[in-house]
Each structure stands twice: as structure tokens, then as C-alpha cells.
Amino acid sequence: MSELRTDRIVPKDGLSSGSYGGIIQIRYMQLEGSNYTTQSTSFVDVPNYNLTITPIRSDSKIMAFVNSRVANTTPDGNSINKRMGFNLLRGSTKIAEQFVGDYYGGTGGSDLNNYHNVSIHCLDSPATTSATTYKIQINSDSSGSTAVVVAGGWARSTITLMEVTA
């Protein structure tokens, strides 16, 4: 005669009622291709710097980790001290922002040793089980005189999304 004993069984869509904390799913992306540069003082989307997750539970939270390799330069490639801004959006709704003031950037060219990290971490409550896209927007504080560069490829500008239960 067979016997099966267990302390608990966790359903495939997360933790059972009355349980606390857990990661349901993780999504990750790395910005590929060449660097993206803008001189816009308005926030603009960084092409291909977005990630979609479809929450399994409507009461889940989404933990977002964004790491951007950035430089702030003049159009001729010289480094400069200026402010840049980063927004994390869920769809068209801003859920987090990060401003970097008096920022020393690099050459903006291929020398990624002069790039620096800008990070955004936040816990969001999308309250949906529909596909939800998170994206990055950036701006420069002085149109025409400075440019914000977000590094693509091996420089590791990334987004990680985790669906979690409380």
C-alpha cells in the first residue's frame, strides 16, 4: 500500500489562501542594439526599452527593477554636468521617477567606462490579469545643448519584473 505525505502543496498560480509571500513569475529583458540618444526636454520613450508581463492573479503586486547605463553629453561628445530624468510607466501611467542632478557623464561614444548606472525599484499594484507593459522614458534638462544616452547591448540596461503575492 502506497502513502503520500506532505507539509503543503502550492498551486501553480501562486500561494494558497492564507499563505504569505511568494514569487509567481519573473520576466527579464536587456536593451539590445545601439545606444539611444535624445536631447528632448519632454519625456520620450526609449525604443525597445519595455517589458510586458501578464499577472496570473489580480491581487498580485509587480516588483520592478530597472537598471540603466547612461551618459549625459554635449552634441559634440564632451561630458557635461546637467540634469536628466527617468520615468517608469505602466502603460501610460507614471509609477516611478528618478532625476539625476549635476550629473557627470562620459563621452557618450563607445567608451562605456564613462557611463554610470541609474536604477529605479518600485512595487506596483496593477490590479489586473491582462497583459501589462512597463516602459522607460527619459529627458534632458536643456534641449540642444545636452543629450542623454542610454546604452544598449552588452552595457546591460535592463528591466526585471516579478509578480509577487503579499
pLDDT in tens, 67-90: 988 876 665 555 555 678 889 999
Confidence of residue 140 (pLDDT cuts 50, 70, 90): confident
SS3 content of the chain, % helix, strand, coil (to 5): 5, 55, 45
pLDDT in tens, 2-15: 787 766 666 655 55
Domain 27-162 has CATH 3.90.550.10: no
Q: Is the pLDDT of residue 29 over 90?
A: yes
The residue with cell 546604452 is: 151
Q: For residues 79 and 146, is the Cβ–Cβ distance under 8 A?
A: no
Residue in 58, 72, 77 with CA at minimum distance from that of residue 147? 72
Lowest mean pLDDT among 27-31, 71-75, 148-152: 71-75
**Which pTM was predicted?**
0.79
Give me 95's grid cell. 509609477
72 three-class SS: strand
In the chain, what are the domain boundaries? 27-162
